[in-house]
Structure 1
């Protein structure tokens, strides 16, 4: 079985989102000093800390440990949407979801005009 590098995965996810470690610390509720220690490989995150990090990143633990690149299946527009999503705080994400649901509901009830 191949060893999974937790710290490298956290760094990879931050890089993919163009997040600083400070931003991740704020989003996850983990003190920056604690996160910094983890990322410099002197202290591997505990499971509760890793759950907080995943929550901050907006992913599940399963997604964190997944070795498959799910983003490869996304269109450019979908990747852009996820990129914008990751820049939003929790209230912004809730508003975005509500807006998107409203658009979907509106489209569902709109007659199909050709």
Structure 2
């Protein structure tokens, strides 16, 4: 890739790298073919809205969060401990998130 990535791909990378995810991991979490995602980067093309929606879902953010200049972690109603948990949760993959949800349900039933 000799040219600079477009703004959308740069924003995707910002969120992806914050989680230390590879492109393959992002594709898997977003239910997108790796070859399609890789091709977007190779050709420096913007994803379609449906593809971007899938990427955002995979990252655990909304389209609104994606296009917002504000940091997504502004949870004014959360304690420091809750914010730490939310930040860690957002960095997890689907399998780990499911495990944490099931575990928290078990604890909340006591």
1:89 aligns with 94
1:66, CA displacement in angstroms? 1.3
1:32, CA displacement in angstroms? 1.4
1:18 aligns with 20
**Structure-1-length-normalised TM-score:** 0.70
1:17 touches 1:83 (CA, 8 Å); kept in 2? Answer: no
**Aligned match for 1:31, one of 21, 30, 33:** 33
2:83 aligns with 78
Moved more, 67-76 or 8-17: 67-76
5+ long unaligned stretches in structure 2: 1-5
Q: Which has the higher helix share?
A: 1
SS of the counterpart of 1:49? helix
2: CA distance, partners of 1:76 / 1:38: 38
Matched positions, count: 102
The RMSD of aligned alpha carbons is 2.6
1:22, CA displacement in angstroms? 0.7
2:16 touches 2:26 (CA, 8 Å); kept in 1? Answer: yes
Structure 1 stretches of 4+ with a deviation exceeding 3 A read 72-77, 101-106
Cα deviation per residue 1:28-70 (whole Å; 9 max; x = unaligned)? 1211121112224532100111011111111111111111013
5+ long unaligned stretches in structure 1: 107-114
**Structure-2-length-normalised TM-score:** 0.72
